[in-house]
Structure 1
Amino acid sequence: MRSSRRHPLLVPVLLCALAVLAARPTDGMDGDGGSGAALAPQVARLYEDAATATRQYEDGRLAAEEQRAKALEYERLLEGQREKTDAMREDLGRIARAQYRGGGGLPLTARMLLADDPDELMRGRRAVSRANQAVDRVIGENLRAEARLAADETKAQAAWRALEKRNADLARLKKKIEGKLEAARSRLEGQADSSVAAGSCPGAVRLDQPDRPADASWVAPVETYELSASFGSGGSRWANRHTGQDFAVPIGTPVRSAGAGRVLKVSCGGAFGIQVVVQHAGGYYTQYAHLAAVAVDQGDRVEAGQWIAQSGTTGNSTGPHLHFEVRVTPETGSALDPVPWLSRRGVPLL
């Protein structure tokens, strides 16, 4: 549950985040996308920017809904306060009319002269006066409460409108980033396909690394994904059975080393297209295939969660995805089912 307290700094903070994101450089992506060496990190940065914009947009949308609910609650309270005030005014009108019909309009001095017991009359007058003062106090408090509610409602509505405008701006920015990202992904895959066709693997293009959990020994090879073809499944695309686990992800998605180890092989061509094989302690190897770009060289030491490549659809592939294998030798034919293997190492694939 989100807190119902108002956050007066929410809108300025989100607008500042939007301004920073909008000002972030994209290394000339407004032009032709630059050279192949620059394209891979541009895709990675655009990928991060699009993910950041999506998260900020979703946070802003939830905040706007919260603000809208708050404004409606203020309106409900305000309407209830108005009904109470109207009822009280009606009661006072009835009292005033009853007093008038009962001689309440007679001057106090005349009533005192005509009364058999002036002391009793004065006591009655004081009681009526106290009652009237109490009613006046209640009316004053209600009017002040109504004014506060109206002011709060105005603030809530203004904050909600600001959030809606901010979200519209962010949605436009997100669409622009995603448009650039789609164009860059297409060019990146085109370059990767050309490299595979020529049998010449592209060189490593280093990527700015994200923060990695210090205590993570093993991670999933991509952060956000949908599982597609599983280990052992059959189909016309494979000579025998599927030898790995496929992760359906867009072209250019950063690919992570599942664990610490050494890059044993970077190669291209054949059914796997551009691929990386990492050697791990304990006699295990992981393979990452159908890549669009690599970020490591053969012999490099890598850590769990380190970005080592970007996904693609090179080689024998019907669409963008990462083919991931766990093997007991570096070569094809020694694969294990990656899902239970990672699960035993604290990485469930959902």
Structure 2
Amino acid sequence: MRSSRRHPLLVPVLLCALAVLAARPGDEDQPAAGISAQVARLYQDAALATQQYEAGRREADAQRARAQQVEAQLDGERREIARLHEDLGRIARAQYRSGGGIPMAARIILADSPEDLMRDQHVFSQADLAVGNALGRSHRAEVRLAGDEAKAASAWRTLEKRNAELAELKQGIQRRLDEARGQLQGQADASVTAGSCRGAVRLDQPPNRVTEPWVEPVEPVELSAGFGSGGSRWANRHTGQDFAVPIGTPVRAAGAGRVVRVSCGGAFGIEIVIEHPGGYYTQYAHLAAVTVDQGDRVTTGQWIAQSGTTGNSTGPHLHFEVRVTPDMGSAVDPLPWLAQRGVSVG
């Protein structure tokens, strides 16, 4: 059995999210925006849809927990009804054994004294009152039980419908995002093949709420090939840390600095190198698009690119390096380096 309680804020929040996402213009309505902007927008839409879907799932879990509590309560009410019925049976049997069926005229004739008559009358009155109270409690318990069951069933149907709508919305956005990611990667591959980068795509930056001097280059973090690992695709050892992320994932500047290289072609495909104060450089490689130009100043956490799988890459990921020069061959292990700066990765 399911509970009738609902989260007071979840319904309007979810409905607002549905309205906002449904009102978004389709990709075909924004031909001038470019595929990079479409991927960025759909990425945010997918994140919001996922957030609302997961919120709905959490509410479903909470609803199931409440349903178990209500089921226990209803079982108690059923036991109470059964007990009341037993009480009614005992009262009826007691009345029968004590002469409850004798007419009042006979009681008056058979009474030894007026006091005995009044005492007997009080006993029977109390018995009648007990019967009435038991019947009333039984009826109220049955009504309450039926009401709880009806409200619980209605609440559960509403929750299932809302979650189904959210799942459908999420799947629709994900399909559009997958299509747009394919187009974005196609453009990136064409640029790398031609050896001519498309240049910076000026995407709308989300509010940057980063307060620390250093951050992970992508979020959420899922590590793949690590620094120094072996592999047939590297001449010696792996020179950076790979993050497994889908095409089009926003790539962030790990720290503030200046863009000293934006290039495409070669083993790293489309790449960015940033110079940071203190003599260190970070590299972001196998990108699908960049949002900065060479010479730009960037802040910690700023979107600088979209991840991809260009160059010497077996699948979508971000290759991240920390170097002591802007060039390959001077890399240090990124994870301990970030950890020394307060960023615990993995």
TM-score by length of 2: 0.91
Alpha-carbon distance in 2 for matches of 1:209, 1:160: 40
Alpha-carbon distance in 2 for matches of 1:9, 1:160: 17
How do 1:254-273 and structure 2 match up within 5 A?
254-273=250-269
Contact 1:219 1:258 in 2 (8 A): yes
Contact 1:222 1:255 in 2 (8 A): yes
Note the alpha carbon deviations across 1:69-90, whole angstroms, 9 max, x for none: 4345434433431332233223
State the partner residue of 1:102.
98
CA RMSD in angstroms, aligned pairs only = 2.2
Alpha-carbon distance in 2 for matches of 1:110, 1:346: 97
Alpha-carbon distance in 1 for matches of 2:91, 2:6: 42
Contact 1:204 1:293 in 2 (8 A): yes
State the partner residue of 2:316.
320
State the partner residue of 1:279.
275
Same amino acid, percent of matched pairs? 68
Letter in 1 for 2:262: V
Shift of the 171–76 alpha-carbon distance from structure 1 to 2, 3 Å rule, reads same
Alpha-carbon distance in 2 for matches of 1:298, 1:275: 11
How far is 1:291 from its partner?
0.4
Contact 2:210 2:300 in 1 (8 A): no
TM-score by length of 1: 0.90
Quick one: which of 225, 237, 242 aligns to 2:238? Answer: 242
State the partner residue of 2:144.
148
How far is 1:234 from its partner?
1.4
Deviates more, 1:172-181 or 1:8-17: 8-17
Alpha-carbon distance in 2 for matches of 1:260, 1:65: 42
Alpha-carbon distance in 1 for matches of 2:143, 2:205: 54
Unaligned 5+ segments in structure 1 are none
Is 2:20 the partner of 1:24? no
State the partner residue of 1:232.
228
How far is 1:314 from its partner?
0.8
Secondary structure of 1:315's aligned partner: coil
Note the alpha carbon deviations across 1:274-311, whole angstroms, 9 max, x for none: 11111111111111001000011112121111110000
How far is 1:345 from its partner?
1.6
Letter in 1 for 2:162: R
Number of residues of Structure 1 aligned to a counterpart in Structure 2:
343
State the partner residue of 2:305.
309
Deviates more, 1:95-104 or 1:306-315: 95-104
How far is 1:134 from its partner?
4.5
Shift of the 258–90 alpha-carbon distance from structure 1 to 2, 3 Å rule, reads same
Letter in 1 for 2:200: A
Unaligned 5+ segments in structure 2 are none
Secondary structure of 2:28's aligned partner: coil
How far is 1:108 from its partner?
2.8
Deviates more, 1:187-196 or 1:63-72: 63-72
Shift of the 7–235 alpha-carbon distance from structure 1 to 2, 3 Å rule, reads closer
How far is 1:15 from its partner?
2.5
